Protein backbone atom coordinates (compact mmCIF):
# COMPACT_ATOMS: atom_id res chain seq x y z
CA UNK A 1 0.00 0.00 0.00
CA UNK A 2 1.49 3.32 -0.99
CA UNK A 3 1.01 6.68 0.76
CA UNK A 4 -1.88 7.78 -1.49
CA UNK A 5 -3.93 4.71 -0.68
CA UNK A 6 -3.08 5.02 3.01
CA UNK A 7 -4.05 8.69 3.11
CA UNK A 8 -7.48 8.13 1.53
CA UNK A 9 -9.09 6.88 4.77
CA UNK A 10 -7.36 9.29 7.14
CA UNK A 11 -8.87 12.60 8.11
CA UNK A 12 -8.14 15.46 10.44
CA UNK A 13 -9.37 15.39 13.99
CA UNK A 14 -12.61 17.39 14.24
CA UNK A 15 -13.27 18.44 17.86
CA UNK A 16 -16.58 20.07 16.94
CA UNK A 17 -18.03 16.79 15.71
CA UNK A 18 -16.76 14.93 18.77
CA UNK A 19 -18.29 17.46 21.15
CA UNK A 20 -21.56 17.51 19.18
CA UNK A 21 -21.77 13.73 19.29
CA UNK A 22 -21.07 13.57 23.02
CA UNK A 23 -23.55 16.36 23.69
CA UNK A 24 -26.38 14.70 21.78
CA UNK A 25 -25.56 11.37 23.42
CA UNK A 26 -25.90 13.03 26.83
CA UNK A 27 -29.22 14.61 25.82
CA UNK A 28 -30.52 11.24 24.58
CA UNK A 29 -29.48 9.44 27.78
CA UNK A 30 -31.07 12.16 29.92
CA UNK A 31 -34.26 11.93 27.89
CA UNK A 32 -34.37 8.14 28.28
CA UNK A 33 -33.84 8.45 32.04
CA UNK A 34 -36.67 10.98 32.20
CA UNK A 35 -38.99 8.72 30.20
CA UNK A 36 -38.38 5.81 32.56
CA UNK A 37 -38.88 8.03 35.61
CA UNK A 38 -35.34 8.03 37.00
CA UNK A 39 -34.78 11.76 36.42
CA UNK A 40 -37.19 14.68 36.56
CA UNK A 41 -36.40 17.31 33.94
CA UNK A 42 -38.59 20.05 32.52
CA UNK A 43 -39.07 20.78 28.84
CA UNK A 44 -37.68 24.27 29.34
CA UNK A 45 -34.45 22.87 30.73
CA UNK A 46 -34.14 20.47 27.81
CA UNK A 47 -34.67 23.19 25.21
CA UNK A 48 -32.24 25.51 27.00
CA UNK A 49 -29.60 22.79 27.14
CA UNK A 50 -30.08 21.98 23.46
CA UNK A 51 -29.75 25.60 22.38
CA UNK A 52 -26.76 26.20 24.63
CA UNK A 53 -25.04 23.04 23.43
CA UNK A 54 -25.65 23.87 19.79
CA UNK A 55 -24.23 27.35 20.34
CA UNK A 56 -21.13 25.85 21.97
CA UNK A 57 -20.64 23.40 19.11
CA UNK A 58 -21.03 26.16 16.50
CA UNK A 59 -18.43 28.31 18.29
CA UNK A 60 -15.96 25.42 18.47
CA UNK A 61 -16.50 24.53 14.81
CA UNK A 62 -16.03 28.17 13.80
CA UNK A 63 -12.79 28.47 15.77
CA UNK A 64 -11.31 25.20 14.54
CA UNK A 65 -12.27 25.91 10.94
CA UNK A 66 -10.64 29.35 11.09
CA UNK A 67 -7.49 27.81 12.57
CA UNK A 68 -7.36 25.10 9.87
CA UNK A 69 -7.49 27.69 7.11
CA UNK A 70 -4.47 29.49 8.58
CA UNK A 71 -2.36 26.33 8.69
CA UNK A 72 -0.34 25.41 5.56
Each residue's pLDDT tens digit, 8-38? 567 777 777 888 888 888 888 888 888 888 7
SS3 of 55, please? helix
How confident is residue 69, by pLDDT bands cut at 50, 70 and 90? Answer: low
CB neighbourhood size of 57 (10 A): 20
Per domain, the residue ranges of the chain are 14-70
Query: How much is the pLDDT for 58?
Result: 84
User: What is the pTM for the complete model shown?
Assistant: 0.58
**pLDDT score at 14:** 76
Amino acid sequence: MNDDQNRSWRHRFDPGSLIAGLFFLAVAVTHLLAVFGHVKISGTATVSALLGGLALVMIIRFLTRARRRDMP
